[in-house]
Amino acid sequence: MIEGKAVRLRALRAEDAEHQLRWRNDPEVIRLAAAGDPRFGPTTAEALADRFHRILRLDPRESGVLAVEEKAGGRPIGMVDYRDVDPYEGVAEVGIFIGEREFWDHGYGTEALGLLVDHLFGAFPLHRLELDTWSGNTRAARAFTRLGFQEEGRRRDAVLLGGARYDRLLFGLLRREWEARRRLAADGGHHAPGADGTPTGAQETPGDGSASSDSPKATVR
């Protein structure tokens, strides 16, 4: 269990599949999380059961999926994941999605991803973390930037959605950058937003993912 202020990350349970089923059949979640990639959704309970069978057996040294739970109501609202941990290069990929729309834009996503980043840099000898999104997902890009991720590249026109082309945005965060932000937050002076996992609000306001190779790269699978 990884505790934040408004959210906690916890191990995935078999019953989380029911939330994942709902989220992966929400067209707006599919559009944002995976630029409409049909490998992400819509999906069926049977397909998800297979996926969960695999996810629940992942080796946490290589990859993992954690449920994001909002603390006030104890309700699963999304998932974070990490994958492709490369112990030689010291690189891993991460992903996030908040499946409950009512929790968007209140800081939960930024806090959840920040907790995962802290956990991974704390537990693994990683040098950098990577993630990506597409140019239509400004909320995701904003949340990643807020945590210190830098846009490192663009695969121009790499994403096709509804007949229109978008760029794939590649983000990276180096350990030294993460450490500098933590020092800044610990100094208490100038506060780096999200560096201490503080959500922007909605404490009173009232999840899936897995890491499999058939999923869109940037999202929790």
Ligand X SMILES: CC(C)(COP(=O)(O)OP(=O)(O)OC[C@H]1O[C@@H](n2cnc3c(N)ncnc32)[C@H](O)[C@@H]1OP(=O)(O)O)[C@@H](O)C(=O)NCCC(=O)NCCS
Q: Which residues would be at the binding site for ligand X (CB under 6 A)?
A: 29, 32-33, 78, 96-98, 104-110, 133, 137-140, 142-143, 146, 200, 218-219
Q: Decide whether 121 or 149 has the Cβ nearer to ligand X.
A: 149
- In the complex, least distance from residue 3 CB atom to ligand X, rounded to whole angstroms: 17
Q: What is the DSSP letter of 75?
A: E
Q: Decide whether 105 or 130 has the Cβ nearer to ligand X.
A: 105
Q: Decide whether 18 or 130 has the Cβ nearer to ligand X.
A: 130
Q: Decide whether 59 or 177 has the Cβ nearer to ligand X.
A: 177
Q: Decide whether 61 or 142 has the Cβ nearer to ligand X.
A: 142
| Residue of 118, 139, 144, 112 whose CA lies nearest to 6 | 112
122: tokens are 């704390």
Q: Which helix (H) or strand (E) holds 19?
A: helix 17-23
Give the integer Cα–Cα distance in Å for 80 and 140: 13
Q: Decide whether 53 or 101 has the Cβ nearer to ligand X.
A: 101
List of E strands, the chain? 2-3, 7-11, 64-70, 75-86, 91-98, 128-134, 150-161, 164-174
Q: What is the DSSP letter of 103?
A: G
- The interaxial angle of helices 108-123 and 138-146, nearest 10 deg, is 50
CB of 106 closer than 8 Å to CB of 201: yes
Give the integer Cα–Cα distance in Å for 39 and 161: 13
Give the 3-state secondary structure of residue 66. strand
15: tokens are 């019953």
Give the integer Cα–Cα distance in Å for 154 and 15: 37
- In the complex, least distance from residue 113 CB atom to ligand X, rounded to whole angstroms: 7
- In the complex, least distance from residue 88 CB atom to ligand X, rounded to whole angstroms: 26
Q: Which residue is nearest to ligand X (CB)?
A: 109
- In the complex, least distance from residue 137 CB atom to ligand X, rounded to whole angstroms: 5
- In the complex, least distance from residue 219 CB atom to ligand X, rounded to whole angstroms: 5
- In the complex, least distance from residue 95 CB atom to ligand X, rounded to whole angstroms: 7
